[in-house]
Structure 1
Amino acid sequence: MAHNGMGEVWTAQDKHLDRAVIVKFVNGSMVDAELMRRFRREALLTARLDHPGVPAVYDLDEHDGRPYLVLQKVDGINLADLIAEQGPLSIAWVAAIGAQISSVLVAARRIGLVHRDIKPSNVMLDASGAVKVLDFGLAVIRDDDRYSRITQTGQSLGTIGYMAPEQILGEPTDHRTDLYGLGGTLFDLLTGHPPFDGDTTATTLHHQLADPPPRPALLRPEIPSALDQLVHALLAIRPENRPASATEVYATLAPLAQDLPPIPGVVDEGGDTVRAYAAIVGQAPRPSNDNAAPDPPPRRPDLDVDQASEQAEQLVADGKFRAAARLWRRLAEHHARQHGDTHPLVFDCRLRAARAHLPLGEHDRALRQLNQLLHDRIRADGPEHPAVLELRQEIARLSEKGASSH
């Protein structure tokens, strides 16, 4: 389980259709009429934007008075974590990711939707190289009262450093607002640093509103001039100085997304990584006279278990613990498909994945995963199984250590 601004996020299994899903609940202590309206509004907006780059909405309902949303589960890494692990990405991958986000923004503009919180942590990259844009909690849609903005006292209307100046100033927003967030995201992917990063919120806002838009090539000279100019333009203070549309942005980025290398622990190794580019082209904004059928989406290759296990061990040895955790989880999912959820290999991989978060200082995250693993092991093997007893002891040690550190 994880937490977001409004509630809880759980992974679950749809037993009827045999698929993994995400279930978002409103926090039990926070349920009121206005919050429920906001939650439902986010669900309706996400469902209305029908695009492969947006998680599918499967259901919206209530349980014990708490609304919940069932979404497609995305197995991948958000771009903020990707940058933290990998540092600046290759030019090709920055272009590939940016082109896919642009494709989502093209679809959003067709229905008059503005996301208003495009940033690295709201974009995920999966193992095939495909991108998903997440979290439509701040989105607005033009000329439709059902989706009008709902605010609360103290509610943030964006993310400092990525929110467009017109958001900061409380001015009207449109599709160019999301282009600003895309520019900030591209800058971060190219340089490993946010475009505006003052010592305080006030200084960051001052830089955004008063300074010329930054150029990533000053930090990374090998960036092509066309890409440097694009990011500079996307981060323009005034919307009219940004590119006219996401289609224009796509046209600049897509040709640069060639010869994509693997990203260890993130995107599948081998020649199949280049097929991510085919996926992007398949979702490109096409000219009206182009009736060609889109390229089929890439098929995720079967996992080479031995190679993946060795790679996970090497990632741990190299100190890339988050990438290792993600790879162990992929191995757990693979073994579950092959042998069932309660196979010892599944439990072993889940245990390794949880432990990989400890060197990162993420004790709470590790404990959540270990406690869920304990629950599943007890259900499968009984409370007296040796592995269950060992896991109880490990959780107790970690809990004691966490308590003593607070």
Structure 2
Amino acid sequence: MTVVKAADRLKDRYEVRRPIARSGMGEVWEARDTQLDRTVIVKTINPGRFTVDLLRRFRREARLTARLDHPGVPAVFDLDSHDGEPYLVLQRIEGIPLTDLIAGQDELPIARVCSIGAQISSVLLAAHRIGLVHRDLKPGNVMVERNGAVKVLDFGVAVIDDDERYSRITRTGEGPGTVGYMAPEQIDGAATDHRTDLYGLGGVLFDLLTGQPPFGDATTMTTVRRQLGSPPPRPSLLRPQIPEALDDLVYTLLALHPDDRPADAAEVYEVLAALADDPPPIPGVISDELDPVRAYAAVVGRQPVRHGIAPNTTGGLPDRVAEADQQFAQGNVRVAARLWRELADEYANDHPLSIEYRLRAARAHVAAGERDRALRQFEAVLADLARADGAKHPRAQTLRAEIEQLRYGAP
């Protein structure tokens, strides 16, 4: 088996130009598709590491990526071999990995972080609808283009739940993810599902918001110990101006147990999309110039989205209250909580409607099993009630009893 090199012509079509990246497993090359006259990416396996299992994993990555039809995933153009060496031809992405974006900025704008996170969430939503779990979501596997569009890369350790062939393939000595972003159930060798990717997204968001990974430590062992033995970190401890909704989201995404994480990517998208308005450009990285892709997406984004995919920001107060009530009745309690918080934000904290909607939101978090989050919100309302009516007012006393019941289970 030979090594692909510059000036090689694969299948008398792809003219190899220059290496872009190398790892122990293989190489990534820039090439030109001479038939269609376009630049593409060619991925190869390192011949020195070639095994039958690695070949199967390589082909699996191609097939899984091809099955995921989403603008946030590079298109797969071809899968073939050259002198016995397999290669994969992918869409060329003009951008930088999030690792470089984080390293090159002192502090990323929160709206830009939410824009990136919302786009990743939409990719996960598409992946999870076909039963695909990425299992290695981290800053190095996400790229952002100059127009702000995000691409999720490297489905090499992904699994899909309708084909056991993919799940049984060994990983040739590699772990099924990256320490620090790998969910606890992956570390323990337990079953994974879509909530495993939500954990990875939480790690990516934490890194984007704070400039450092959530569980970074001096050694792999101490990092793993922190992941398995410590409460999830809150990004607001490093960056206090982070909105509460975003801080709570990252905290729950990094929950030790999958059941304590958000239910699905749609729920995560809703929170992030609501905070992603008008993300500022990043000089030299993300432009604010008119771009064809951005112009197209802006119009598509004006279409109404239903069934819990996007927040309802239109309509009068009765309609919005009714929507929150309906979401709660349908069991979408976190969606309802967010809608009630949005309604509350339109009034002063001590306004009766603000207090009512905030209490509804807190009770929705109780229904979602998010006791600590609910307690924080109840206590904030209690403080506003005490300032407005006095600590001994019947409403304040009733709420205080409710808090005690939640905290201690007292009658």
> TM-score if structure 2 supplies the norm length?
0.67
Q: Is the 8 A contact 2:266 2:308 kept in 1?
A: no
Structure 1 residues 149 and 122, CA gap change in structure 2 (3 angstroms):
farther
Instruction: Please tell me the residue identity of whatever aligns with 1:267.
Output: I
Hey, what does 1:30 align to over in structure 2?
49
Structure 1 residue 183 and structure 2 residue 183: aligned?
no
1:17 aligns with 2:36: yes
The offset of 1:207, in angstroms, is 0.6
Greater alpha carbon shift after TM alignment, 160-169 vs 15-24: 15-24
Superposed CA deviations along residues 154-187 of structure 1, whole A, max 9, x for unmatched, are: 3121101000000000000000000000000000
For the pair shown, the structure with the greater C-alpha radius of gyration is: 2
Query: Cα distance, 1:200 vs. partner?
Result: 1.1
- Contact map agreement 1:130 1:276 (CA 8 A) in 2: no
Counterparts in 2 of 1:270 and 1:70: CA distance versus 1, 3 Å:
closer
Aligned to 2:277: 258
d(CA) in 2 for partners of 1:276 and 1:230?
A: 29
Q: Report if the CA contact (8 A) 1:60-1:69 is conserved.
A: yes
Indicate the larger mover: 140-149 or 35-44. 140-149
Match of 1:115 in 2: 134
276 and 186 in structure 1: CA distance in 2 versus 1, 3 angstrom threshold: farther
1:249 to 248, 265, 268: 268
Which residue does 1:56 correspond to in 2? 75
Counterpart for residue 129 of structure 1: 148
User: Tell me, what secondary structure is at the counterpart of 1:12?
Assistant: strand
Q: What is residue 192 of structure 1 aligned with on the other side?
A: 211
1:36-47 alignment to 2 at 5 Å?
36-47=55-66
Equivalent residue runs for 1:286-305 within 5 Å: 286-287=305-306
SS at the partner of 1:86?
coil
- 1:212 is matched with 231
User: How much does 1:261 deviate?
Assistant: 1.1
AA partner of residue 85 (structure 2) = R
1:70 pairs with 2:89: yes
Shift of 1:271: 6.5
Q: Distance in 1 between matches of 2:289 and 2:279?
A: 10
State the 1:286 CA deviation. 3.6
SS state at 2:81 partner: strand
Q: CA RMSD in A?
A: 2.3
What's the secondary structure of 2:78's corresponding residue?
strand
The equivalent residue for 1:85 is: 104
User: Secondary structure at the residue paired with 1:162?
Assistant: coil
The answer on 1:236 being equivalent to 2:229 is: no
Shift in CA distance, 283/97, structure 1 to aligned 2, threshold 3 Å: farther
SS state at 2:190 partner: coil
Question: How many residues of Structure 1 are paired with residues of Structure 2 in the alignment?
Answer: 290
Q: 1:234 to 1:289 in 2, by over 3 A?
A: closer
Q: Report the alpha carbon displacement of residue 149 of structure 1 after superposing the two structures with TM.
A: 3.9
Gaps of 5+ in 1: 291-406
Query: Out of 119, 125, 129, which is 1:106 matched to?
Result: 125
User: 1:88 touches 1:188 (CA, 8 Å); kept in 2?
Assistant: no
Q: Deviations over 1:74-100 (max 9, x none)?
A: 010000110001133101001000000
C-alpha displacement of 1:273: 11
* Residues 142 and 164 (structure 1), Cα distance of their counterparts in 2 relative to 1, 3 Å cut: same
Out of 89, 114, 133, which is 1:95 matched to? 114
The separation in 1 between residues aligned to 2:55 and 2:273, in whole angstroms, is 40
- Taking structure 1 as the reference length, what is the TM-score of the superposition? 0.68
Aligned 8 A contact 2:43 2:89 in 1: yes
User: Structure 2 vs 1, CA of residues 145 and 54 (structure 1 numbering), >3 Å: closer, same or farther?
Assistant: same
Amino acid paired to 2:39: A
Measure, in 2, the Cα distance between the counterparts of 1:285 and 1:174.
29
Q: Is the Cα contact below 8 Å between 1:257 and 1:277 reproduced in 2?
A: no
CA contact (8 A) 1:46 1:54 kept: yes
Q: Give the unaligned 5+ runs of structure 2.
A: 1-18, 310-411
Of 103-112 and 254-263, more deviation after overlay is shown by 254-263
Q: Distance in 1 between matches of 2:162 and 2:120?
A: 24
Cα 1:276/1:203, change in 2 over 3 Å = farther
TM-aligned CA distance change 1:287 to 1:43, over 3 Å: same
The share of aligned pairs that are identical, in percent, is: 67
> Residue 161 of structure 2 aligns to which amino acid in structure 1?
R
Residue 147 of structure 1: how far off its partner (Å): 2.1
1:254-302, Cα deviation, whole Å (9 max, x unpaired): 0111122111111114476994894597499942599xxxxxxxxxxxx
Once residues 189 and 285 of structure 1 are traced to their aligned partners in structure 2, the CA distance between those partners, rounded to angstroms, is 29
Aligned to 2:339: none
Answer whether contact 1:117 1:178 (CA < 8 A) is retained. Answer: yes
Trace 1:134-173 onto structure 2 (pairs within 5 A): 134-152=153-171, 154-173=173-192
Q: State the alpha-carbon separation in 1 of the partners of residues 237 and 287 from structure 2.
A: 31
Q: Quick one: distance in 1 between partners of 2:285 and 2:169?
A: 37
For 1:9 and 1:19, locate their aligned partners in 2 and report how far apart those are by CA, in whole Å: 17
